[in-house]
Amino acid sequence: MGEDRTARTAVRTITDLARLAGVSPGTVSRALAGKSLVNTKTREKIEAIAREHGFRPNQMASGLRRQKTGVIGVVIPLGHDTRQQISDTFFMTLLGFLADELTLEGYDLMLRRVVPKDDADWLDRFIGSGMIDGVIVIGQSDQFDRIEDVADGYGPMVVWGNHAEGQRHCVVGTDNRLGGRLAAERLIAAGAQRLAFLGDTTAIEFAARFAGAEDVVRRMGLPPIIELPTHLSPERASDEIARHLEAVMGRIDGVFAATDTLAALCLTGLRERGVAVPGDIKLIGFDDLPIASHTVPPLSTVKQDIAAGARGLVDLLLRRLAGEQTESLVLPPQLVVRQTA
Amino acid sequence: MGEDRTARTAVRTITDLARLAGVSPGTVSRALAGKSLVNTKTREKIEAIAREHGFRPNQMASGLRRQKTGVIGVVIPLGHDTRQQISDTFFMTLLGFLADELTLEGYDLMLRRVVPKDDADWLDRFIGSGMIDGVIVIGQSDQFDRIEDVADGYGPMVVWGNHAEGQRHCVVGTDNRLGGRLAAERLIAAGAQRLAFLGDTTAIEFAARFAGAEDVVRRMGLPPIIELPTHLSPERASDEIARHLEAVMGRIDGVFAATDTLAALCLTGLRERGVAVPGDIKLIGFDDLPIASHTVPPLSTVKQDIAAGARGLVDLLLRRLAGEQTESLVLPPQLVVRQTA
DNA sequence: ATTCCTGTTGCAAACGTTTGCAATGGGCGT
DNA sequence: ACGCCCATTGCAAACGTTTGCAACAGGAAT
The per-residue pLDDT for range A22-35, each reduced to its tens digit, is 888 989 999 888 87
Model confidence at B52: pLDDT above 50? yes
Model confidence at A64: pLDDT above 90? yes
Taken as a whole, chain A contains a residue count of 341
The mean per-residue pLDDT over the stretch A200-210 comes to 91
Tell me the pLDDT of chain B averaged across its residues.
Answer: 89
- Flag the least confident range among A29-43, A237-251, B203-217: A29-43
- The confidence score (pLDDT) of residue A120 equals 83
Could you tell me whether strands B157-160 and A71-77 are parallel, antiparallel, or unpaired per DSSP bridges?
Answer: unpaired
A-facing residues of B in 166-195 (CB < 8 A) are: none
- The confidence score (pLDDT) of residue A9 equals 64
Instruction: Note whether A149 contacts B: Cβ–Cβ < 8 A.
Output: no
- CA A275, CA A47: separation in Å to the nearest integer? 70
pLDDT bucket at B3, cuts 50 / 70 / 90: very low
Question: Is A313:A158 a contact under the CB 8 Å cutoff?
Answer: yes
Q: Is the peptide bond before B156 cis (omega within 30 degrees of 0)?
A: no
The mean per-residue pLDDT over the stretch B223-227 comes to 95
pLDDT bucket at B114, cuts 50 / 70 / 90: confident
Residue A332 region by backbone torsions, left for phi larger than 0, else alpha for psi between -120 and 50, else beta: beta
Mutate to test the interface with A, among B233, B294, B306, B339 (most CBs of A within 10 A): B294
Residue A178's nearest CA partner among A215, A136, A219 is A215
Model confidence at B2: pLDDT above 70? no
pLDDT bucket at A213, cuts 50 / 70 / 90: very high
Model confidence at B194: pLDDT above 60? yes
Contact between the CB of B339 and strand C at under 7 Å: no
CA distance B234 to chain A (A): 8
Model confidence at B45: pLDDT above 70? yes
Residue B85's nearest CA partner among B121, B114, B108 is B114
- Provide, rounded to the nearest whole percent, the portion of chain A with pLDDT above 70: 94
Amino acid letter, A334: Q
Could you tell me whether strands A134-138 and A157-160 are parallel, antiparallel, or unpaired per DSSP bridges?
Answer: parallel
CA distance A93 to chain B (A): 5
- CA B330, CA B325: separation in Å to the nearest integer? 16
Q: Is the peptide bond before B297 cis (omega within 30 degrees of 0)?
A: yes
The mean per-residue pLDDT over the stretch A11-22 comes to 88
- CA A67, CA A169: separation in Å to the nearest integer? 24
pLDDT bucket at B212, cuts 50 / 70 / 90: very high
pLDDT bucket at B192, cuts 50 / 70 / 90: very high
Model confidence at A138: pLDDT above 60? yes
Domain regions of chain A by residue span: 14-57, 71-174+306-331, 176-303
Max intra-chain CA distance, chain A:
85
- The confidence score (pLDDT) of residue A272 equals 85
Question: Is B333:B179 a contact under the CB 8 Å cutoff?
Answer: yes
- Chain A partners of B264 at a C-beta cutoff of 8 Å? 294
Question: Is B71:B110 a contact under the CB 8 Å cutoff?
Answer: yes
pLDDT bucket at A82, cuts 50 / 70 / 90: low
The mean per-residue pLDDT over the stretch B10-14 comes to 87
Superfamily holding B14-57: lambda repressor-like DNA-binding domains (1.10.260.40)
Q: Please tell me which residue, A123 or B82, carries the higher pLDDT value.
A: A123
A108, A125, A234 ranked by CB distance to B290: nearest: A234
B93, B113, B264 ranked by CB distance to A294: nearest: B264
CATH 3.30.70.980 fits B71-174+306-332, yes or no: no
Q: How many CB pairs under 8 A join A and B?
A: 132
The mean per-residue pLDDT over the stretch B118-144 comes to 89
Question: Is A204:A139 a contact under the CB 8 Å cutoff?
Answer: no
Helices (H), chain B: 14-21, 25-33, 40-53, 59-66, 89-104, 122-128, 144-153, 176-189, 204-219, 234-248, 260-272, 306-321
Nearest residue to C13 via alpha carbon and C1': A65
Domains B71-174+306-332 and B176-303 alike in fold: yes
Could you tell me whether strands A171-174 and A195-198 are parallel, antiparallel, or unpaired per DSSP bridges?
Answer: unpaired
Assign 3-class secondary structure to A133-175.
Answer: CEEEEECCCCCHHHHHHHHHHCCCEEEECCCCCCCCCCEEEEC
Summarize pLDDT for B291-303 with one digit per residue, the tens.
Answer: 888 788 899 999 9
CB atoms within 10 A of CB A144: 18
Superfamily holding A71-174+306-331: Response regulator (3.40.50.2300)
- Flag the least confident range among A185-199, B82-96, B111-125: B82-96
Model confidence at B6: pLDDT above 60? no
CB atoms within 10 A of CB B124: 16
Q: Which nucleotide is nearest to A62 (CA to C1')?
A: D17
CB atoms within 10 A of CB A35: 10
Summarize pLDDT for A227-271 with one digit per residue, the tens.
Answer: 999 988 777 888 899 999 999 898 999 999 999 989 988 998 898
Amino acid letter, A207: A
Tell me the pLDDT of chain A averaged across its residues.
Answer: 88
Summarize pLDDT for A265-321 with one digit per residue, the tens.
Answer: 899 889 888 998 889 999 999 999 888 887 888 999 999 999 999 999 999 999 999
The separation between CA B341 and the C-alpha centre of its own chain, rounded to angstroms, equals 28
Cα(first)–Cα(last) distance of chain A, in Å?
70
- CA A137, CA A158: separation in Å to the nearest integer? 6
Half-sphere exposure of B234 (CA within 13 A, CB side): 15
Distances in Å between the Cα of A87 and the Cα atoms of A168, A234, B96, B145 are 29, 10, 6, 31
B-facing residues of A in 22-81 (CB < 8 A) are: 54-61, 63-64, 69, 71, 74
Model confidence at A1: pLDDT above 60? no
- CA A285, CA A279: separation in Å to the nearest integer? 17
Residue B32's nearest CA partner among B74, B2, B62, B4 is B62
Q: Please tell me which residue, B146 or A284, carries the higher pLDDT value.
A: A284
- The confidence score (pLDDT) of residue B7 equals 45
Q: In what order do the strands lie in the sheet with A254-257?
A: A226-228, A195-198, A254-257, A282-287, A300-303, A334-336
Model confidence at B79: pLDDT above 80? no
Phi, psi (degrees; rounded to nearest 5) at A70: 75, 20
- The confidence score (pLDDT) of residue A233 equals 74
CB atoms within 10 A of CB B44: 12
> Do the Cβ atoms of B87 and A97 come within 8 Å?
yes
- Provide, rounded to the nearest whole percent, the portion of chain B with pLDDT above 70: 94
What is the per-residue DSSP string for B141-202?
TT-HHHHHHHHHH--SEEEES---TT-SS-EEEE-HHHHHHHHHHHHHHTT--SEEEES-TT
- CA A250, CA A307: separation in Å to the nearest integer? 39
Superfamily holding B176-303: Response regulator (3.40.50.2300)
Question: Is A337:A300 a contact under the CB 8 Å cutoff?
Answer: yes
Q: Using CA coordinates, name the residue in chain B closest to A114.
A: B103
Contact between the CB of A32 and strand C at under 7 Å: no
CA distance A57 to chain B (A): 7
Q: Is the peptide bond before A278 cis (omega within 30 degrees of 0)?
A: yes
SS3 B67: coil
